[in-house]
Amino acid sequence: MATIRPDDKAIDAAARHYGITLDESARLEWPALIDGALGSYDVVDQLYADEATPPTTSREHEVPTASENPLSAWYVTTSIPPTSDGVLTGRRVAIKDNVTVAGVPMMNGSRTVEGFTPSRDATVVTRLLAAGATVAGKAVCEDLCFSGSSFTPASGPVRNPWDPQREAGGSSGGSAALVANGDVDFAIGGDQGGSIRIPAAFCGVVGHKPTFGLVPYTGAFPIERTIDHLGPITRTVHDAALMLSVIAGRDGNDPRQPNSVEASDYLSTLDADVHGLRIGIVREGFGHAVSQPEVDDAVRAAAHSLSEIGCTVEEVSIPWHLHAFHIWNVIATDGGAYQMLDGNGYGMNAEGLYDPELMAHFASRRIQHADALSETVKLVALTGHHGITTLGGASYGKARNLVPLARAAYDTALRQFDVLVMPTLPYVASELPAKDVDRATFITKALGMIANTASFDVTGHPSLSVPAGLVNGLPVGMMITGKTFDDATVLRVGRAFEKLRGAFPAPAERASGSAPQLSRA
């Protein structure tokens, strides 16, 4: 198998890129030398074809009709049976469409990925099937997962089941909408800036971003290796703990995971007494420029209600919380441009299982369909390219060096408190924008809600969004964050609040008028 060779024009372009001067002699000599070096590429291509490429699994799938997909939340539907019985037997799960399911088309919300069919199941898919779950389909996500709203997918906006004229949140909007609407029991979400917790909050369900590295990211399309997370979206904290118990643990194929990561049973301590636990309400998580006072009030009331069951609830100031967003922004922008775009998703320089077929497919389409990318991805491309080339990536390096300081600020507070609490989002779901919205409004609308969520993607702390109540008939999320690898305590506090609050209404109940209007917990 022969690797494509560069012609003279391609060699000239490479030389210009690196500032190399080619005289006439060099122009004559380099093609043969490059051809010799590419001989190893030929060998690797043949070895991979012979030894490493798994067979493509053929699995039935359907593109749902508009009447079957009123929220535009399904990309395709399937009915992939479990590989064995287990704790999830009889449960239906949706897989976010940035996660590979062998033999089922994948789009990642983008024309640049459209047309790709994976040949491997992601680790989380394998684990869910082994635990007895049935994969019901792929849930629509944002264009390359870079939006906190739900209007950037190339297939069209995902609608909120509480009000179809409003956003479902992103980038795991399809996953949260399907869970909230009762179409599936569970869903896999992905989180690089809040993309599990944001749609969970807007749709009135539970979303847990695990500690960084706890759940293997193997088989999911990356944005930036240091902030990539996968986790559960469910209707209850109990189900989130159950699902996390299935998908957590090291798989040996993900460089994000430390060797010490082990699977745990997050149900075993879920209902343990929370009396004496210390709850810190983070002042800097409230009162953002875009915050709705009613949302802040609902979350404060929900947090203080935990004192009724013996928790100590106090306010705490963490000034670094306001800085951490900016650290995330540089890392997500420069890192996303370098790895996701120029690195064709996977980048290089790390151990782990790559998906070379997906890399090649994306590489062949991302320039061809660049104009179809969302404005948020274009912002990453244009800003990140400047950061990498003109600024030499130094801002990224500075941001990475500041992460330990931000992490330490939260850890200091977490020595005083068992968990930290703040609103997941500063406002409730807003109306979807018009198709012809101006670019500045598009970007603000897509990214304007992530001030609280993004911080914990760079610091890696586990963070759970649980419904706190309703404001103007729409769900409000309370975010509970804990010590790294202490996901059990985060879930335990969320479960205690959930029991104190009582059953949270479903969208259909609210629409029919049968559900109470919750003022707080």
Residue 515 identity: A
- Residue among 397, 376, 392 nearest 331 (CA): 397
Residues 130 and 122: their CA atoms lie apart, in Å, by 13
Of 209, 214, 208, the C-alpha closest to 254 is 214
Q: Is 39 buried (19+), middle (13-18) or exposed (0-12) by CB count in 10 A?
A: exposed
Residue 480 β-bridge partners: 421, 464
Q: What are the residue numbers of the active site?
A: 96, 171, 195
CA 503, CA 521: separation in Å to the nearest integer?
10
**DSSP H/E element including 312:** strand 312-316
CB of 100 closer than 8 Å to CB of 353:
no
Residue for token digits 């904290």?
237
Greatest pairwise CA separation for the chain in angstroms: 82
In degrees and rounded to multiples of 5, residue 199 shows phi and psi of -65, -30
Alpha helices in 259-353 (DSSP H): 293-305, 320-336
Name the token pair of 328: 């995330």
Burial environment of residue 38 by CB neighbours within 10 A (0 to 12, 13 to 18, 19 or more): middle
Contact 230, 491 (CB under 8 A): no
List the one residue out of 423, 400, 408 whose CA is nearest residue 483: 408
C-alpha span between 465 and 450 (Å, rounded): 13
Between CA 462 and CA 246 the distance in angstroms is 17
Any idea what DSSP says for residue 505? P
In terms of Cβ atoms closer than 10 Å to its own Cβ (0-12, 13-18, 19+), residue 319 is exposed
Six-digit token string for 192: 């690089």
Sheet with 186-191: list strands edge to edge. 74-80, 134-139, 92-96, 186-191, 229-234, 206-209, 463-471, 474-482, 419-423, 278-282, 312-316
Q: Please answer whether residues 486 and 268 qualify as being in contact, where contact means their C-beta atoms are separated by less than 8 angstroms.
A: no
Element (H, E) at 384: helix 375-389
Tokens matching residue 201: 């909050």
Sign of CA dihedral 474, 480, 484, 485: negative
Query: How would you classify residue 115: left for phi > 0, otherwise alpha for psi between -120 and 50, otherwise beta?
Result: left
